[in-house]
Amino acid sequence: MLNKNFLWGGATAANQMEGAWNVDGKGISVADVMTKGSVSQPRQITDGVRAGEEYPNHFAIDFYHNYKEIIKLMAQMHFKCFRMSIAWTRIFPKGDEKEPNEAGLKFYDNLFDELLKYGIQPVVTLNHFEMPFYLSTKYGGWRNREMITFFMNFAKVCFKRYAGKVKYWMTFNEINNLIDTDNPFNAWTGAGVLYQDGENIEQTMYQICHYQFVASALAVKAAKQIDPELQIGCMLHFGPIYPHSCQPEDLMASVKAMDRRFFFSDVQVRGTYPAAVNKIWQRDKIQLDLTDEDLLIIKGGAVDFIGFSYYKSTTAQADQDGDFLELPNPYVPKSDWGWAIDPVGLRYILNLVSQRYNKPLFIVENGFGAFDKLEDNKINDDYRIKYLENHVVEMMKSIELDGVKVLGYTPWSAIDLISASTGEIEKRYGFIYVDITKVRQGKSGFIPKSSFNWYQNVIRTNGACL
């Protein structure tokens, strides 16, 4: 049996759902200047919003104006928690102001109150793939050390204002996307950084990470000073990279690939850079702005729990140059977007991460993006139920059979929203279907899918009935 405090819920991110991009004093975020993309064509960050132009995140699903109706539906599913993020630009519209925007702070006050009214705990990511566009254009985004100061102003305002309402926080969403994904686009743009011609991209990437590690560690410390009860986590994307074969070289390739994946958690959880990274910096002649004081800050700012997303697995095959190729796993099926469906991989990763760090884990994203069909005002998404059910089964095995400590499970996504990689709503993940035409007309367009009923029952029985 699961612990009765197990945090069942659902996950979202501000820029992918709120809309109301220029309302109540909100500034322009980098997410507001991103075009639509597709599987083959990454989204582009543009140089600003021209009059009359609308980008996908501008309206999103208009959660900003519909949050009460949506939270009511989540309460019907018996959510114990709701993962969301705070739009930095609602609080500091440009990013470098001294005083926060009261209307933005008030919005989240109201939102948290609405959640708490139903006994739903907010689980909040401070920074999920966005930042003030002004900080990107004026300062170069996270390639500039000054971001640490601006981020800390934002973080402290949030911790202070919402103390007593929010207990679980995460600092940055999936910084390891910078290095470690086939689609690093979101993390780069979320960091407000654009490549420049001839730039040493690897060096810039490590520099961005370093500043974000320092900022994350400072945020952990600040949160504890404001309220020692707060629990602060990292949020990284994890998925196994299996050896492509049982040849020893492939096994070694897998170990190296996983080390690279764990580089980020090594820093944020252990508070130190792993030894191997110094070798990489020497080999690739990488020179960073990194001080002894930074290293002390990182040491003193280890996270309390490890939040992570799990969607898919892949494999590594050793190549001739001592590096590896990432290849699909022939033993597992794929989604419409080519993402490998591998529930056992979730148990594997829970075990591996728990053994590596011995810290509580929180599965803050896991889900199935699909084209859903609205028929007779109903959505039959049995494929999503199957995906989630198989993953929950494996999660339970790791808790009950392997003794792994898991705080909660918040599938992506609580409700349909804008896809981070494509900027479209058609890649749907939610328990609640969004009829965007109706929502735009100001009518109620939020329809529970079959997975809604399934999940309601799972939470009601604390996982006993799947």
> Contact residues for ligand BGP (CB under 6 A)?
13, 16, 129, 173-174, 237, 309, 365, 369, 412, 419-421, 427
Task: Please measure the distance between the N-terminal and C-terminal CA atoms of the chain and give it in whole angstroms.
Answer: 13
The residue (of 16 and 207) whose beta carbon lies closer to ligand BGP is 16
Q: What's the token pair of residue 2? A: 């699961």
User: Helix, strand, coil: what percent of the chain each, to 5?
Assistant: 45, 15, 40
CB of 228 to ligand BGP, least distance (A): 29
One-letter identity of residue 18: E
Report the alpha-carbon distance of residue 399 to residue 1 in Å, rounded. 9
- d(CA 466, CA 463) in angstroms, rounded, equals 6
Q: Which is nearer to ligand BGP, 290 or 370 (CB)?
A: 370
Contacts of 170 (CB under 8 A, 6+ apart): 123, 124, 125, 126, 232, 233, 234, 235, 307, 364
* Closest CB to ligand BGP among residues 157, 379: 379
* Cβ proximity of 253 and 317 under 8 Å: yes
* Residue the block writes with tokens 């002649």: 285
Identify the active-site residue in 18, 114, 174, 365. Answer: 365
Kindly state the smallest distance separating residue 204's Cβ from ligand BGP, in Å.
21
CA distances to 20, 304, 425, 466 from 409, in Å: 28, 17, 23, 14
- Find all residues with CB under 8 Å of 442, minimum gap 6, and list them: none
Residue 54 appears among annotated catalytic residues = no
Residue 212 CA to residue 227 CA, distance in Å, equals: 22
User: CA–CA separation, 81 vs 166, rounded Å?
Assistant: 10
Catalytic residues: 365
